[in-house]
Chains A and B, each alone.
Chain A
Amino acid sequence: QVQLQESGPGLVKPSQTLSLTCTVSGGSISSGGYYWSWIRQHPGKGLEWIGYIYYSGSTYYNPSLKSRVTISVDTSKNQFSLKLSSVTAADTAVYYCARGMTTVTSDIWGQGTMVTVSS
């Protein structure tokens, strides 16, 4: 079955760029038909959708984060990645990657990775 696993630094300094990768196993991103999303959850809070990418490279970002977000895909590695620039403490959150059976209806999620923004 398809599984997703986030990876990346757990600590990022303010003003730097947060970079995370999601590795997909059990299925191929390049087979199409699914959308690959990033979603985050601030500690003790609700969920915030960040954006998605299709295997072709087309993307859609949350307008509230659009100026700082880049999502990319590497089909040769079966991975997709998130970059969030100019981070502040407000970006401290658990970051999830997920597969969308439609653009934003996420049926399979990674376990999540906690990222803390602190000097």
Chain B
Amino acid sequence: DIQMTQSPSSLSASVGDRVTITCRASQSISSYLNWYQQKPGKAPKLLIYAASSLQSGVPSRFSGSGSGTDFTLTISSLQPEDFATYYCQQSYSTPRFGPGTKVDIK
């Protein structure tokens, strides 16, 4: 069973900041890694799939990188609408989500 961890669990940032969230798998998952954004009371939204592919309609300030066990989601310039919780998900085997990273306003 592949376990997923995320760091940090939460962070405070200002509009315009560059934000990086890390996701680590307990074993290699190649590039089978997705990133989702969830706002309170809403369903998750797919941002990045296959580690680095930007989902259609998602702003280019979002990017993903990594392979194997270590992955990152980067927001190049944080916007007000980006304050949310971000989850990684491995799709290599039985899918499992990371515990989430909450991004709030500094």
Closest approach, in angstroms, between the C-beta of A102 and any C-beta of chain B?
7
Q: Are A105 and B49 in contact (CB under 8 A)?
A: yes
A 77-118 binary contact with B (CB < 8 Å = 1; else 0): 000000000000000000010100111111101111000000
Binds B, one of A16-24, A26-34, A46-54, A68-76: A46-54
In the complex, A47 Cα to B46 Cα: how many Å?
A: 13
Chain A residues engaging chain B, CB cutoff 8 angstroms: 46-49, 62-63, 96, 98, 101-107, 109-112
Chain B residues engaging chain A, CB cutoff 8 angstroms: 34, 36, 42-46, 49-50, 55, 87, 89, 91, 94-100
Residues of A with C-beta under 8 A to B97: 46-49
Closest approach, in angstroms, between the C-beta of B101 and any C-beta of chain A?
11
Specify the main secondary structure of chain A where it touches its partner.
loop
Q: Are A109 and B43 in contact (CB under 8 A)?
A: yes
In the complex, A107 Cα to B100 Cα: how many Å?
A: 18
Q: Are A110 and B91 in contact (CB under 8 A)?
A: no
Q: Are A46 and B91 in contact (CB under 8 A)?
A: no
Residues of A with C-beta under 8 A to B55: 107
What total count of A-B pairs have CB within 8 Å? 47
Residues of A with C-beta under 8 A to B98: 46
Residues of B with C-beta under 8 A to A96: 43-44
- Set B87, B91, B99, B100: member contacting A104, Cβ < 8 A: B91
- Set B36, B89, B94: member contacting A62, Cβ < 8 A: B94
- Set A47, A103, A112: member contacting B87, Cβ < 8 A: A47
Given contact pairs A46-B87, A47-B87, A106 touches B46 in the complex (Cβ within 8 A): yes
Closest approach, in angstroms, between the C-beta of A73 and any C-beta of chain B?
19
Residues of B with C-beta under 8 A to A112: 43
Q: Are B94 and A105 in contact (CB under 8 A)?
A: no
